[in-house]
Every structure is written in C-alpha cells, then in structure tokens.
Structure 1
Amino acid sequence: MPAIVDDQGTRQVVLDLIIEKGPITASVLANILKLTPAAVRRHLIYLEESGQIENLEATGKIRGRGRPARHYVATDAGRATLPDGYSQMANKALDYLQQVAGDQAIEDFANRHSREVERRYAPVVHAAGDDPQARVVALADALAQDGYAATVRQTAHGLALQLCQGSCPVQDVAKSYPKLCEAETQAFSRLLDTHVQRLATLAEGDHACTTSVPLTLRKNGTVSSINVLSGVKVARRGE
C-alpha cells in the first residue's frame, strides 16, 4: 500500500509540473524530478490515458521534422484536480447579476475585479524596484503562491517576457464572462507600468493564460537588461 500511495504522489507532482511548466518534455520532467525517463514516461502514459494531459504533437498544435520530442500540457480534466470550490457558484452569481442588472453590471464587476487584482499585488511588484524583469518575476511569484501556477519565460528575440498562468481559479467563469480576462490584463498593465498583450487564455482552450510583457517602462522608455537576475528563475523558451 505505501508504494501505491507514493506512486500516486509522484504522479500528482508530475501533473502539477505539467500544469505549471507545460509544454514540457519527459526528459525535462525527469531532470527536474531526478527520476529515470522510463519512470516519468510511466506516469505520463497513465495521465494521458486518463485524459489529464495531452501530447501537443498528437493534437497537431506542434509540428516538426522527423520525430520531435513529445511536449505535454494539462487538459481541463487535469487542471480540475487543483483546489476549486467556487467556480460554479461564481458563475451562477454572475448569471443572476446579468439577468437583474444587465451587461453594465458585469462590466462594473470586472472593473472592480481589476482594481482588486492591482491592489493585492501592487506592494509585491513595487517592492521589486524599477527593473521590468524583476517586476514581472515578482508578480509571477505572487500569483504562483495564490494557486495560478505562474511562471516567467523569455521570448526568442529577448525583447519581452511571457507571464504564463497554468491554472486559473475563475477559468470556467471566464468562459462565459471574458471581461474578467480583460480586467486582469488591464491590472497587469498598470502593475507593470507598460502595455501588455494577452496572447492566450485557458478560458479559450489554450494550455495556459499567456501575457506578453515588453521589457520597457512607460515613464522613460528604457530597456531592461535581459540577463537573468540573481536568485530569480526565468525559464528560457522550450524549457
């Protein structure tokens, strides 16, 4: 019995890493977990067969020559394993709000949500100083602590960072009310003091909510150094 419990625990860790870092390969997972590739593949097979993860090559979302390494991302079923006790209730509440007060009430609610996001994370972001990269990493760390499975990744050209959220507590609600996603994006823009662009969302079926953040500040237009900050982990694209 202990071996079975340990196996389930490792499998959950594999799934959590895929939610946070996907798309990710078996070899990268094995390196992170200090397991053999064969052991990791065994967990991947189980997770894929149970519908909790998918292989992007099989879905046609990644194409390559020859036989490229498989890149795995979590499915909605996989993300559903994370704690979530209020999505259904929130959806019903917004449905009722729209029925009795109309679309303007939903927009007002989204704007209030945006201000709450900004208020919650402003102290952490401001404490990171003026360096754009440090501010993005600080925001990602704070989001990760709140269950968003957030990471920061460098783009190939090095002029922007991608803030990726592998989990979202309001994902199901945002499917019906996308203004919540727009409100969060606006809050990120104000927090980071630059124009950010939402590239993908979990609500629209992507494997992560991805926000592009240019490495500049509005107030003076200076470009941040692309060197990885001391003590801060910024994943390069493909890791």
Structure 2
Amino acid sequence: MNNNFADNERAIWILKTRGPQPLCALAEELKVTMEGARFQLLKLANEGLVEATTESKGRGRPKQIWSLTDAGNARFPDRHQDLALKLLCNMSKTLSPENMGKVLDATAQSTQEKYQEELKDCKDLESKVLQLADLRKREGYMAEFRKEGDSFLLIENHCPIQAAAKCCSYFCQMEQDVFGAVLGKNAAIERIEHIPGGQRRCVYRISEK
C-alpha cells in the first residue's frame, strides 16, 4: 500500500480511496482483527478524523459505516490556495480597474460586517482596537495591541495574504478602509510600517480625531 500515513493511520488512506466502509471490510484491508480495526478507528475518531454512522439494510443487525470527516479529508493535499491566487492574478490582469474594484469591494464588505459584529459591544476606541487586534491574531496576522501615549498601535507581524497583496495592491488599501469603517469616523488611522514597503511588519497608529 503506497501512502504517506503511519501504520496506525492507514484507515484514513483506505477510506479516502475506497469510500465509506464497514468495520469488517476495513479489518480485511488493514490485515488485522475486527477488534484491532475497531481500536484504530476509535483512536482516529477521538482525533476527529473519522466518524461512524449506523446503516440498516433488511434483516439483521445494523452495520456501522466508517467515513472521513472534514478534518480527515484535510490530511490530503489541497491546492485551492494556489488556484485562488492564480485566479486573482489573472482577474487583476484581465478585468478593468472598475470591475476588479467591485469584486474586491464585495469581499471587503463581508469582512467589515464580520468585524462590526465582533466589535458591537466595545464602548471606546481602545477596546475596539484591542478587540480588532485579537481578531487579526486569530486570522493569522500575529497581531499585537500596544498603547503609545494618546495613540494605540495595531501591529501585524505576519501577513498571511502577502502573495495576494503582492499580486493585487488593492488588498492593502482595502484593509485600511475596513479598519476605518469598523473603528468609527472619530478614529484617525495612519499606517507607519508596511511589509510591501520593505518593513518586516505592518503597523497602524490609531488615535482619536
């Protein structure tokens, strides 16, 4: 069996290539006893990689059918990010700036709505920036919040969409526009460091107008 999984995870490969299987079929493929197969599957189920459903057909005891979960499927190569980047680059080359802007504005709007929902209970600018930094941290930006005098710094040590931003610089402006929308009209936002500009991070200074 040619796969890159450890012996105790071969059931994942079998379920991917054969589809959902009953325990007896998996035990035969794994060349182990039914109890041995059940032990492996329960371990994988505890890790969230496989799941069992009960199937009844005619007379006799219902069968447990094992299949992969979304997490199990994620163990296999996924090139959707490469495809999305290629599509984005080709769109930026073929669409007019106006039409490209409409596409990206729709993306910005959904992000803005998500952030506004998360910040709806924040009462002042400091709490908004703090919550925004937490959101960006969860999204992979390695974000930090710092207070500097009467201003606040939103620091992003990593840009998980750097390849997309390099292909389409509008993403950087879109990011700053979204920050302005969710922090409110009384917030002044200045980008003082920028990864595409050669700095190691992106930093925004935010203060009351």
Correspondent of 2:172 among 156, 178, 181: 181
Q: 1 or 2 for the larger relative contact order (CA 8 Å, sep ≥6)?
A: 1
* CA distance in structure 2 between the partners assigned to 1:172 and 1:180 by the alignment: 11
Corresponding residue of 2:89: 95
Determine if contact 2:154/2:206 at 8 Å carries over to the other structure: yes
Shift of 1:110: 2.8
Give a deviation string over 1:36-67, Cα, whole Å, max 9, x none. Answer: xxxxxxxxxxxxxxxxxxxxxxxxxxxxxxxx
* CA distance in structure 2 between the partners assigned to 1:172 and 1:104 by the alignment: 22
Please state if 1:204 is matched with 2:197. Answer: yes
* Structure ranking higher in strand proportion: 2
* CA distance in structure 2 between the partners assigned to 1:115 and 1:166 by the alignment: 24
5 Å-filtered alignment, 1:156-175, equals 158-175=149-166
Determine if contact 1:172/1:203 at 8 Å carries over to the other structure: no
* CA distance in structure 2 between the partners assigned to 1:166 and 1:103 by the alignment: 30
* CA distance in structure 1 between the partners assigned to 2:136 and 2:79 by the alignment: 18
The one-letter code sitting in structure 1 at the alignment partner of 2:199 is: D
- Give the TM-score taking structure 1 as reference length: 0.49
Give 1 or 2 for the bigger CA radius of gyration.
2
Give structure 2 stretches of 5+ with no counterpart.
Answer: 1-77
* CA distance in structure 1 between the partners assigned to 2:81 and 2:153 by the alignment: 26
Corresponding residue of 1:20: none
What SS does the corresponding residue of 2:188 show, helix, strand or coil? coil
Aligned length: 130
Give structure 1 stretches of 5+ with no counterpart.
Answer: 1-83, 222-239
Corresponding residue of 1:153: 146
The one-letter code sitting in structure 2 at the alignment partner of 1:116 is: S
% same residue = 22
Determine if contact 1:165/1:208 at 8 Å carries over to the other structure: yes
5 Å-filtered alignment, 1:16-55, equals none
What SS does the corresponding residue of 1:207 show, helix, strand or coil? coil
What SS does the corresponding residue of 2:204 show, helix, strand or coil? strand
Correspondent of 1:144 among 123, 134, 137: 137
* CA distance in structure 2 between the partners assigned to 1:128 and 1:197 by the alignment: 21
Taking only aligned residues, the RMSD between alpha carbons, in angstroms, comes to: 2.1
* CA distance in structure 1 between the partners assigned to 2:159 and 2:86 by the alignment: 18
Determine if contact 1:199/1:209 at 8 Å carries over to the other structure: yes
* CA distance in structure 2 between the partners assigned to 1:170 and 1:85 by the alignment: 15
* CA distance in structure 2 between the partners assigned to 1:203 and 1:101 by the alignment: 23
The one-letter code sitting in structure 1 at the alignment partner of 2:96 is: G
The one-letter code sitting in structure 2 at the alignment partner of 1:107 is: G
